Structures are given as C-alpha cells and as structure tokens.
C-alpha cells in the first residue's frame, strides 16, 4: 500500500497532520530529489521508502534515485564508511580515482540539474556535487556515526561537503569540525504503518516464529542488525552465554546484507561458525519485514550492541512494539533508550548480561519498560515528525 499522510492521523492526531499540510504549502511546485546507494537493505532505504511518498502526498514534487557502482566502488565506499566511524584505512590515490570516477558516472546518468533541492545520502554519492554547476540547494544527509572519524578520509571528503548548503546529522555529537556550512540535526524515524512495524496479533506473530523453528517455550533474546563488525554480534553471543547460565533462554540473530555492503557475507560466516558450537542460537538471514516484526514483538528483550552507530532504528522498532532494549552508549542509541525507563544503556558486557537477567526475571518491569518505550517512540521517532523536520528545513532554505 502506498503511504498516505491521512492514514497516520489515527496514530499522531489531526493537529499534526494539518500542520504538515499547511507548512508544506510554500514548497508546492518545488522539485526535490533524494539520492542514496541502494533501494533496499538498511535504514536509509527504509526511511526513503515512506518519506518520499509522504513528501509527494503533501504536495512536494519528490523523486528518489539510487546510484550504480562496481564491486570495487562499493568496497571502497564501505572502507570510507568504516574509516569515518574510526577504523584505520588508507584512502589511496587509486581508491580516490575509482570513487571519483563513479561519482562522475552517476552525475552523467542522473539528470538532476533542474531540481530545486538535492539531498545526497551518506558518502557513496557525496562527490557527485563536483560535477554540477550548482544552481539548486544541495544538502548532504549523513546517517553514520562520525563522532571519531579517520582524519585522512574526512580530509578527502571535506572539500566536497563544503560545496553543500548544509549537512544533516542525526545527533549533536556528530557535528563536523571545520565545516563552514550549517549543520542541521534531524533524528531518523520509523514508519508505524509499515509491514515491519504495524500491530500483529500475538497468535499470528507466534505462528510466524514457529514456522522458522524458533523455540517458543523459552524466552527469546534477539539482536536484529546487518552482519557488520560495528554491530558486534560476537559480544551478544558472549552475553547470551552468561545469561543462559542463570536463565534458560534462546538467542536469535537476524540480519540481511545490503547490496552496497560487500563485508556482510564474511561477518555472517564468522558469526555462523561461532554460534554452531553454542546451543540455543539461531541465525536468520532472509529479508522478511513481517518476521522482523514478529520477532521484535515476541522477544523478551532486544540487544543493540553497537560499537559505533549512526542511530539504530532497530531500537525504536522494538520499543514501538513494547519490547525493552539494551543498547550501548553510542550514536543515536541513548536518544532512544531512557536508561532504566524503557530499557538499559549497557556499560559493558557484564553489565549487559546482568541487566538482561533483571528484565527476564521481572515480568512487571518488562511490561512497564515496554509501555514507556512505545510512548517515547510515539512522541519522538515516527515518520510524521521526520517529515515535519524536512519541511521546516526546506522552508528555511528559502527564507534565510
């Protein structure tokens, strides 16, 4: 079903919907385009899959393009991604040439010179701006954790970023030093009416999990994320072993692999090898939003054990379904988890295992945290708020 703004009224109220429509009025006739790396896999594609349709529904003429690239290009952009999150990596001259060549290719095949606003998402298409005589407003939307970037990589990208009219980041801690352009904070969001987030009956959810061979007689602990070293699934496995010593439960690790992430299969293979020796662990790799929905809803708790994290929409997804989340104190995770209220911010693995046991052994605590999590997401992290932030930002481009 194509998203329509009126469908969200029953969740957020008539006042919110009316304000979205009225504030979008000055933008009618403006031509906006979003450009990112892939149409499926990961939070950026999920957000755009709703946001673009809602922008059109409120009268903003909005398109969405994805870029093309070779395996070597996406291997390089994964290296850029990892190094912006702090890993050691060398932006060699050969890598620079490949990166810029594909930015040029995508500039040629994407005719966006006649747009009023261009929103470029993440580093993959960032360099496209150099191949245009900039007449439109260009915004770079960075979804990743750049709190401790590799200075060499950021130094290569910074001249391109400086050409934009501004950068959009997910949290205050991601502000870029020495950037001479405005930096706007817009938190990511979930779509409460998507297949992944709409309400499922308890019976249907359990049936979906049962078909996958998940043992429903024991509490389920889950982490849902791409197979990526930054998500630290190995740490989740270590915590699970400690938890299982005191409370019988099962662990499900579910994730998919996006087309722009060549590192995913290698990490998946390592996780599979590690988990095969430990009873009670199940790995699911399929792209199945309904199954994700059921798993988040029926789990006793969800981990988000990230080492670096742009935002982690899996936290809001789980909280929306009234499931407590235990996450690390990185990126956008502490914006979503109110420590001790709707989950816990973990200090380390021992602390994570200890707090997971508290939730498993106290059904009343789990229920209170679940209800608090749902309300927190409703107030702060739904797609309607996200749309309003973009409308306000776009309006500001024409009034400042």
Question: Strands 61-66 and 31-36, how do they pair?
Answer: parallel
pLDDT value at 364 more than 80: yes
At 237-257, the pLDDT tens digits run 999 999 999 999 999 999 976
Same-domain check for residues 307 and 390: no
In a domain, 174, yes or no: yes
Same-domain check for residues 125 and 252: no
Question: Strands 166-169 and 137-141, how do they pair?
Answer: parallel
In a domain, 317, yes or no: yes
Same-domain check for residues 222 and 336: yes
Distance between CA atoms of residues 124 and 70, nearest Å: 12
Q: Is 236 helix (H, G, I), strand (E, B) or coil?
A: helix
In a domain, 296, yes or no: yes
Burial grade of 93 (CB within 10 A; 0-12, 13-18, 19 or more): exposed
Distance between CA atoms of residues 311 and 322, nearest Å: 19
In a domain, 195, yes or no: no
Same-domain check for residues 177 and 33: yes
Residue 92 zone, left/alpha/beta (φ > 0; ψ -120 to 50; rest) = beta
For 290-365, list the strands marked E by DSSP: 301-304, 325-328, 343-346
pLDDT value at 137 more than 60: yes
Same-domain check for residues 151 and 251: no
Residue 264: predicted pLDDT: 77
Same-domain check for residues 129 and 227: no
303, 326 contact by CB (below 8 A)? yes
124, 36 contact by CB (below 8 A)? yes
At 313-351, the pLDDT tens digits run 999 999 999 999 999 999 999 999 999 999 999 999 999
325, 302 contact by CB (below 8 A)? yes
If we measure between CA atoms, which residue out of 147, 184, 146, 149 comes closest to residue 164? Answer: 184
pLDDT value at 260 more than 60: no
Distance between CA atoms of residues 166 and 280, nearest Å: 48
Residue 130: predicted pLDDT: 84
Split into its structural domains, the chain has a count of 2
In a domain, 197, yes or no: no
In a domain, 390, yes or no: yes
Residue 287: pLDDT band by 50, 70, 90 thresholds?
confident
Same-domain check for residues 153 and 251: no
Same-domain check for residues 245 and 181: no
Tell me what the mean pLDDT of segment 278-282 comes to: 95
In a domain, 389, yes or no: yes
Same-domain check for residues 19 and 130: yes
Same-domain check for residues 156 and 254: no
Per the model's pLDDT, the better-predicted residue between 261 and 381 turns out to be 381
Residue 257: predicted pLDDT: 66
CATH of the domain at 235: 3.40.50.2000
Containing structural domain, residue 370: 202-380
45, 121 contact by CB (below 8 A)? no
**Residue 48 token pair:** 């755009």
> Mean pLDDT, the chain, as a whole number?
95
Longest dimension (CA), the chain: 63
In a domain, 196, yes or no: no
Same-domain check for residues 184 and 240: no
Same-domain check for residues 348 and 374: yes
Residue 263: predicted pLDDT: 72
Q: What one-character DSSP code corresponds to residue 118?
A: E
Residue 262: predicted pLDDT: 66
At 165-207, the pLDDT tens digits run 999 999 999 999 989 999 999 999 999 999 999 999 999 999 9
């Amino acid at each position: 079903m194509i998203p329509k703004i009126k469908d969200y009224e029953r969740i957020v109220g008539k006042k919110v919907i009316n304000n979205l429509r009225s504030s979008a009025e000055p933008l009618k006739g403006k031509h906006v385009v979003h450009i990112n790396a892939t149409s499926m896999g990961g939070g950026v594609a999920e957000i755009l899959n709703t946001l673009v349709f809602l922008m059109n529904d409120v009268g903003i003429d909005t398109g969405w393009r994805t870029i093309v690239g070779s395996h070597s290009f996406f291997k390089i952009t994964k290296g850029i991604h990892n190094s912006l999150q702090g890993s050691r990596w060398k932006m060699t001259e050969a890598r620079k040439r490949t990166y810029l060549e594909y930015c040029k290719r995508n500039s040629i095949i994407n005719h966006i010179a006649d747009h009023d606003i261009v929103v470029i998402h993440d580093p993959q298409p960032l360099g496209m701006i150099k191949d245009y005589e900039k007449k439109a407003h260009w915004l770079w939307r960075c979804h990743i954790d750049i709190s401790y970037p590799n200075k060499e990589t950021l130094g290569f990208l910074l001249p391109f970023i400086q050409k934009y009219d501004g950068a959009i980041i997910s949290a205050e801690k991601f502000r870029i030093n020495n950037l001479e352009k405005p930096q706007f904070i817009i938190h990511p969001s979930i779509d409460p009416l998507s297949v992944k987030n709409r309400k499922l009956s308890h019976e249907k959810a359990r049936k979906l999990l049962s078909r996958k061979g998940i043992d429903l007689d024991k509490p389920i602990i889950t982490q849902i994320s791409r197979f990526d070293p930054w998500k630290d699934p190995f740490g989740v496995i270590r915590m699970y072993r400690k938890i299982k010593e005191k409370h019988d439960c099962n662990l499900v690790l579910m994730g998919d692999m996006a087309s722009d992430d060549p590192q995913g299969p290698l990490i998946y293979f390592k996780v599979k090898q590690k988990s095969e020796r430990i009873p009670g662990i199940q790995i699911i790799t399929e792209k199945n939003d309904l199954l994700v929905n059921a798993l988040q809803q029926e789990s006793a708790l969800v981990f988000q054990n990230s080492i670096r994290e742009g935002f982690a929409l899996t936290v809001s997804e789980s909280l929306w379904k009234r499931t407590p989340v235990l996450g690390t104190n990185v990126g956008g995770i502490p914006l979503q988890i109110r420590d001790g209220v709707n989950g816990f911010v973990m200090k380390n693995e021992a602390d994570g295992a200890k707090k997971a046991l508290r939730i498993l052994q106290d059904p009343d605590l789990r229920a209170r945290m679940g209800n608090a999590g749902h309300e927190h997401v409703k107030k702060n992290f739904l797609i309607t708020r996200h749309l309003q932030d973009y409308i306000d930002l776009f309006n500001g481009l024409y009034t400042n």
